[in-house]
Each structure stands twice: as C-alpha cells, then as structure tokens.
Amino acid sequence: MDRHFRFRKFIEWATWFGMLGCISVSVFFLVGILGYVLVHGAGYIDWEFLTAMPVPAGETGGGIANALVGSFLVVAVAGLMALPIGIGAAIFINEFPSHGFGHTVRFLAEVLTGVPSIVVGLFAYALVVIPSGGFSALSGSVAYAFIMVPIILISAHEALRLVPDSLREASLALGIPKWRTIMGVVLPVSSRALVTGAVLAISRALGEAAPMLFTAFGNSFWNVNLTKPVATVPLLIYTYATGPYEDWHQKAWAASFVLLLVVLFTSVLTRAFLRSKSNE
Amino acid sequence: MNSESYAMRNLNERALSATAEEIAAAADTGDAVRMRVEGLSVYYGKVQAVKQVTMSIRTHKVTALIGPSGCGKSTFIRCLNRMHELTPGARVEGKVLLDEQDLYGPGVDPVDVRRRVGMVFQKPNPFPNMSVKENVIAGFKLRGVRDRKVLDEVIEKSLRGAALWDEVKDNLQKSGASLSGGQQQRLCIARALAVQPEVLLMDEPCSALDPIATAKIEELVHELKDQVTIAIVTHNMQQAARVSDFTSFFYLGELVEFGETAKLFTAPEKRQTEDYITGRFG
Amino acid sequence: MARDSQATFESVERALGGVKPLGARQQVINFGDRIFYVIAKSFAVVVILLTVLLVADLVRGAWESIGRFGLRFLVGTTWDPVAREFSTLPTVIGTLVKGFIALLLAVPVSFGSAIFICFYTPRWLRPVISYPIELLAGIPSIIFGMWGLFAMVPVIRVVQVWLKANFGWFFLFNGPAVYGVGVLSGSIILFIMVTPIITAISKEILLTVPRAQIEGMLALGSTKWEAIWKVALPYSRIGLFGAVILGLGRAVGETMAVTMVGGNSFALIHSLFDPVHSMASQIASEFSEATYSLYVSSLIYVGLVLFGITILISLLAQFLIWKISKGKLALLD
C-alpha cells in the first residue's frame, strides 16, 4: 500500500517537473527570439536608417524610409476599405437580427480567418493585378483588407454584443429612431473595444509579407502612387534576409526590430485598453 | 384546499375580464381620458400573454397596474409606447388610443409614439458614456438638436422636476453611472421628462432601489402628475395604494378589475382582487 | 414662473420639431432607419461576396492548369517548368509532414504549459506567465523566419551532421545533413510558432472546467495530477482537440518562416534532413519566376489545393466549437 502511494507521489512530482519543462521551453523560445532580434537589430537603428532611401545593392548606408512609408500607405488604404465593411457587417449582424443570414456571415468570417495569407495574395493577384496589368500598392491594400475584414468583423460583433439591451431600450423609449440609437449610443459605448479590434487587425496586416510577394511587389525607390509597386517592411525583410549581402542581412535585422517594436507596442496598448474598460 | 386551486375555482365562477361597460361604470369620475385601450391582446409567438384588455388612463392622474408575477402587466404597459414589438415574435391585436388616435393604426411610426409616451425602466439605465448633463438632454442630442439656450433651460427644468437638481447641480459633468441607484433612476426620470411626453410609463421603477430611494420616487410621482399623466406597474401593493388614483388588477393576462384606488383596496368587487390584496396568493 | 415655464415648454416643442400627428406618415418605418438598414446589410453582403470572389478567382486562375491536368495534378510527382508538366503530391506531403511533426512536438508542450498555467500557478501569477506566451502568438512570421534562418539553422545543421554520423543507418537520418534547412528545421520552426496558439486556447478551455469536479476528486484522495488526468482533460477533450486543429491550420498555411528554413526543393521526402517545399513555400518562391501562363496557373492550382485543405481544417474546427456549445448544455444534466 505504501509503495503504491509513493509511486503516485512520484508521478505527481514527475508530471509537475515535466510541465515546468514545457513552460520553460515556451519561455525559452520567446526570450531567445526576442532577445536575438534585439541584440542583432537594435544597434543598427539610427536616424539615417529610418529616414533615408535604400542605396544600390552591396553598398552600405542608406535606410528603409520607403518601406516604412509604403507599409503605412498600404495598410492605411486597406484600413479605409476594411473598417467600414467589418464594422458595418457587425452592426448588421447584431442590431438587425435576421433568421440565419447574420449567423452565416459571422460563420464565414470565422472560416476566413483561417485562409493562409499566401492564398489571399493569390486572390488579390487574380482580382487586381491581372486586370490592371501590373503590380500596385492598391492590390496590396486589397490583400491586406481581405485579411483585416474578418478580424474586425469578429471583434466588432463581440464588442456590440457586450452593449446591454437596456441602453438601447432607454434610447428607443425617448423616441429616438433605431439608426440614431446605434450611432449615438451603441457605437460610442462600445468604442473602446471597437478600436482595440481595429488596432489588432492593423497590427496583424503590418507584419504580413506573403501577400505582398505578388501584389505590392516591392520597390527600391520612393513611391506613394497607389497604382505602382511599393516597398513594405515585411517584404523588405524577406528580400534582404535571403539576399547575398551582409549589409542587407544587417538591415533585415534592424527592420525586424522595428517591426517587432510596433507589434509589441500595439499588443500592450490593446491589452491596457481592454483592461481599463473592464475596470469601469 | 390550497390557495391556488381556490383561485382557480374563483376564476371559473366569475366573469373574468371587465367589459367596457363595467369599466365605464366603475370608474366614471368625470375625469378626462388621456389613453384608452380597447380589446388589447398580446402574443409572443403562439403564447397569449395579455387577453382582451380594455381600460383607460386618466389625464393628470396616476394609474397603477398591479398583479402577481407573470400576470402580463409589464407586457401590457410596454404596448402603450410600442416597446413590446421590439421583442422578436411579438404580436399585438386591438387598439391603443392616445387622445383618440390609434397608436397601432396604419401609417403610425413608433418613433413618434415614443416621443409622446415616455418610459422609465425597472433597472436604472443612464448612458454610461455621457455625463449627468448629457444624459438629461440625450433625447435632444441624439436627435441632433443643438440649441444651447433651450438645452440649458431643459437641463435645469428636468432635473428640478425629478427632484435631483440640488443633489447634482455642482456635478453636472460627472458620469451618469457615478450616481447612486436612486439618483440614477431620478436621472432617468429627468431624461424622460426632458422631451415633454404627454404620458409617462413606469415599469416597476423602484424594485431595484432601497426604501429611502423608493420613498423619494413615490413622492416625485405625486408631484409629477400635474405635469404628465402617469401609469405605473408595481408588484408592491402598498406602493400602489400610496401613489395612485386608479388601479388595475391583472391576473393571468386578463384585467380582472379596474377602479379608483381607494375603492379597489377597501371594497373590491371581484373575489380574486380581494384575495390578492389580502395576500391569499401572489 | 408659470409664464417662463410655458415659454420653455414651447421652445422645447419647437426644438423637437413639434408634435407630429399620428398616422400622418406614408411609410411606417422612418426614412433614416430604412437607409441605414440597407447600408448595413450591403456591408454584410460584401463579406459574402468576398468569400465567393475568393473561390471564384482561385478557380478561374487555376483553370488552365485544371483543364490540362485535372485530378492527376493531385497525385503526380513531376514538377518540370521546362517540360510543362506540373503536379503537387510531393508538396502536399511536404506540407502535411512538416505540419504533423510540428504538432507532435507542439501538442505535449502546449498542453503541458496550459495545464501548468491553469492548475499549478497561483491566480495572480497566471497573467504574468501566459501574457508573454500570447505575445509570441502575435509575432509576424517573417521574424520567426529571420531567427530561424540565422540562429536556428546553423544549430540544426550541427545536430543533423552529428545524427547522421552516429545514426545514419536510420532512414530518417539518412539525408543531406549539411544543408541545415529541411523537414526538421521547417517542423521545428512551425512547432515554435504553433505552440503559443494551442497553449492560449487550451488555457482558456481548461479554465472552464468546473472547480467542483476537480475538488471532488481531490476530496476522494487523488493527487492533483490524477484529478487533472481523470477529470479535467476528459471534460475538455473536445475543446483541446479544437485547439490542436486550429494549430494545424496555422501550420499548414504558414508561408514566410517555412520558406526561409524549410528547404526549397521539389521532391518526395526520404529523410528528416531533406529540403522540401510546402505548398505555401513553393508558391512564394516560384511565383516571380513563372514566366508563362500554364506555370502561373499551376501555382494557383497549388494555392487552390492549399485553400481546400485549410478550409476543411477550419470547418472541422467550427464543427467542434459547435459541438462544445451544444455538449456543455448536456453536461449540465
């Protein structure tokens, strides 16, 4: 009896130890990756890096300004397309119950979040690049928008669901029409969560390189024209990292560091946003 | 025999809903009638929650609606400002007349109805994203009305009317949600009064409040009836006796009795009414 | 005071637009509401449209290749741009093998981490540990690729060479060890990327196990581990399976990191060290070199196959989620 008990105790201890090991593996990789990027990338960042244009291949110096601006441009246009669609659809699903049509849309959004980003890139290629005859920032925006819409829709829908019906009733009972109730009460009350969802979607799009491969395509020069190819940060990282020049590798690390900072920053921001909302 | 089967037997013995003639006879005090309900039946899908109710609400008087839980009084009152139809599967038959205009007639927009017939709910629901000031004038701001002068007058007038002005006049910027429960409910009353409704419906406004806050609101109801006609649902019989001029007793979706409060509580005509009032059931 | 009050009353009435006579309207639902409904509905319709367009455009783009190869495409093993012969079995195998190996490693680590967070960590400490792990889930794949290529691959290369030298008789270790990039590296980077996702979801699932059930076991004298193994895990098995499925979906669709460390060669896998394309990495690498339409169309066909596989995985995950929401109600009996 005692032997059996000791065996069970041993199992208890062994499993605890094993699980500690699992957690350690996760934490190890986190620290390893973040640390590696920090060490290899942070030192290279200076004002020139952030504001200068790229120099011809093989030379040192220059920067990634065109990619920073390009990423911003492509994501901003994508946001202009994706936000109305995502939030508008979420409003429809939640505020106008409709016997299954709304459920279908929500279900589709959940499924769409699983579409690989490279397939989204192919979609944008077939939809925009082929008919227009060339790569363009706009096609990149379409790809990003496609990735962003499901994320925004789902988070906006959840945000709207959290608004208590009693507030809608209060407004309607004052003789306010439904649409004004939605715009004047429901949206402002859920605004924090809506913004959080939008920020998450934007942050996700900013880091995606695969769709850019055959849409925005990349550009060594300055471009803010939507109909022409444009450089974006994640694609630039890929091009430089797989290229032959040591300087390019160095720049890829620095750019990775910048990208990582942006992603971490938005993650912390949205976390703080959500927590302060639940404290109200 | 337990009280429930006793009540069931009575139901079978007496005529259940008061007919229109009985209403007129029982309550003919000569007061003007603000709202009239004729043969109102309300359905949730197949279930009939309110059965053929006919009654009237007198101008500048307080009419109380009492009855045990689930008797249909809340459903009924929500039909008076067309809030009931917001529930999916809800259906209404019959007429509700405000100054002899049918609220459910053709071409009537519920939005117009709700401006003239206001409502205060069981649980106070001030808008959390607005200050006290903004809550009061929410009915204006949400419509896009911006006339500063009118709005400022309305704020003070409505808050005074809701007996809240003195408590919040130095803190109008504070969030609506930062007030106590009783204050929040008075804020909701102020908000409803601000758009100058002709009738104010109150659906168990005190059930979520402590006795002191409840007393304040009952006093308020008494003061308000000169400005606005009031109908109040309450599960508290003593409250009904205290504040109202007329009372209707609902049971199982039917209007059992309607009359002047004093008479209904001292000499009720129907057996169920008496049983409910004396606490034999409910 | 009464006169002021009357004046106020009238100015308010004016501000509100006066009392509208009931029954005067032609339409019962007011104009603003109707327009708003139409606008909102059209946004919802756009979402459906996007899905339809996605499938339609993929099929349209792949049409030339579908017409030429049909279903042979899925089982052939030749990819020869010069001879204009394309098929995709090796890349499908490459994708699935890397995904499954990644899961093989990720599932124990994720479950172990999730169990640790839920049951062996005091409540206040939980966010401190789980937050960094969730952070890892949000890091862009290109950064995993960078780290994988420059930091991990050299290490893997050393390991592979050692394994081959000492265990080269084993078929799994009998391959081109010096490359460093290959099935092993690809699987490991996927493992690192997928673990945080499975951990985060499993943590949420395990937190929903009713405390009472576990405490009941403990009261009967079981150890904590026994209570977890016999109660918590069976209770949440559907949700945990769903978490794994979602991780698989991510692993299958992953592009950039796998392109950088998975090896870019079209061949059937013979060992762990073979460099092999996944469907995503093949599309990513070769698209810019696709110079004629059948080539492009074949790559899009590959994309269509990839899409099909991820949709199946997604639908399976949705089905499991639906089952949970129904099953939970039954469990309450």
For B208-247, the three-class secondary structure string (H helix, E strand, C coil) is CCCHHHHHHHHHHHHHHCCCCEEEEECCCHHHHHHHCCEE
Say whether A123 and C53 touch across the interface (CB within 8 A). Answer: yes
Q: Report CA C76 to chain centroid distance, whole Å.
A: 27
Number of domain units in chain A: 2
Cβ neighbours of B125 in A, within 8 Å: 164, 166-167, 169-170
Rounded CA-CA distance B95/B41 in Å is: 9
Rounded CA-CA distance B244/C153 in Å is: 84
Q: Do A39 and A145 sit in the same domain of this protein?
A: no
Distance from CA of A35 to the nearest CA of B (A): 42
* Farthest CA pair distance, chain C: 105
Query: Which residues are registered as beta bridge partners of B57?
Result: B35
More confident residue, C215 or A162: A162
Rounded CA-CA distance A181/A176 in Å is: 6
Sheet containing strand B246-251, strands side by side: B117-120, B199-203, B229-233, B62-66, B246-251, B254-260
Distance from CA of B196 to the nearest CA of A (A): 10
The nearest alpha carbon in chain C to A111 belongs to C314
Exposed/middle/buried for C167, CB within 10 Å: 0-12, 13-18, 19+? exposed
Say whether C15 and B103 touch across the interface (CB within 8 A). Answer: no
**Span B211-238, pLDDT tens digits:** 999 999 999 999 998 889 999 999 888 8
Report whether pLDDT(C223) > 90. no
- Structural domains of chain B, ranges and CATH numbers in brackets: 3-122+199-277 (3.40.50.300)
Tokens, residue B115: 């401006």
Interface test with C, best of B109, B140, B143 (most C CBs within 10 A): B109
Report whether pLDDT(A271) > 90. no
* Residues of chain B where predicted confidence (pLDDT) is lower than 70: 1-30, 282
Say whether B157 and C5 touch across the interface (CB within 8 A). Answer: yes
**Span C253-279, pLDDT tens digits:** 999 999 999 888 888 888 888 899 999
Question: B91 phi and psi, to 5 degrees?
Answer: -145, 140
The nearest alpha carbon in chain B to A187 belongs to B129
Q: Do A25 and A71 sit in the same domain of this protein?
A: no
Distance from CA of C204 to the nearest CA of B (A): 30
- Structural domains of chain C, ranges and CATH numbers in brackets: 2-67 (no CATH), 70-331 (1.10.3720.10)
Q: Do A148 and A163 sit in the same domain of this protein?
A: yes
Q: Report CA B75 to chain centroid distance, whole Å.
A: 11
Rounded CA-CA distance A183/C205 in Å is: 35
When CB atoms are compared, the residue of B88, B118, B127 closest to A167 is: B127
Distance from CA of C302 to the nearest CA of A (A): 10
Interface test with B, best of A94, A96, A176, A191 (most B CBs within 10 A): A176
- Under a CB-based contact definition with an 8 Å cutoff, are residues C308 and C66 in contact? no
Q: Do A230 and A268 sit in the same domain of this protein?
A: yes
Say whether B114 and A172 touch across the interface (CB within 8 A). Answer: yes
**Count of CB atoms within 10 A of residue A11's CB?**
14
Say whether B108 and C23 touch across the interface (CB within 8 A). Answer: yes
CB neighbour list of residue A215: distance below 8 Å, 6 or more residues apart: A121, A124, A125, A128, A129, A135, A136, A139, A140, A142, A143
What DSSP state is assigned to residue C124? Answer: G
B121 touches A at CB < 8 Å: yes
* Positive or negative torsion for Cα C193, C199, C202, C208: negative
Say whether C23 and B145 touch across the interface (CB within 8 A). Answer: no
Side chain identity, residue A252: A
When CB atoms are compared, the residue of C51, C223, C259 closest to A12 is: C223
Question: Chain C window 148-167: which residues touch A at a Cβ cutoff of 8 Å?
Answer: 149-151
Sheet containing strand B90-98, strands side by side: B47-58, B33-44, B90-98, B101-102
Report whether pLDDT(A280) > 80. no
Q: What is the pLDDT of residue A277?
A: 56
Chains that touch A (3 or more CB pairs under 8 A): B, C
State the residue range of the domain holding A35: 2-44
**Span B128-181, pLDDT tens digits:** 999 999 999 999 999 888 888 888 888 999 999 998 999 888 888 888 888 998
Residue B200: in which H helix or E strand, if any?
Answer: strand B199-203
pTM: 0.88
Cβ neighbours of B118 in A, within 8 Å: 173-175
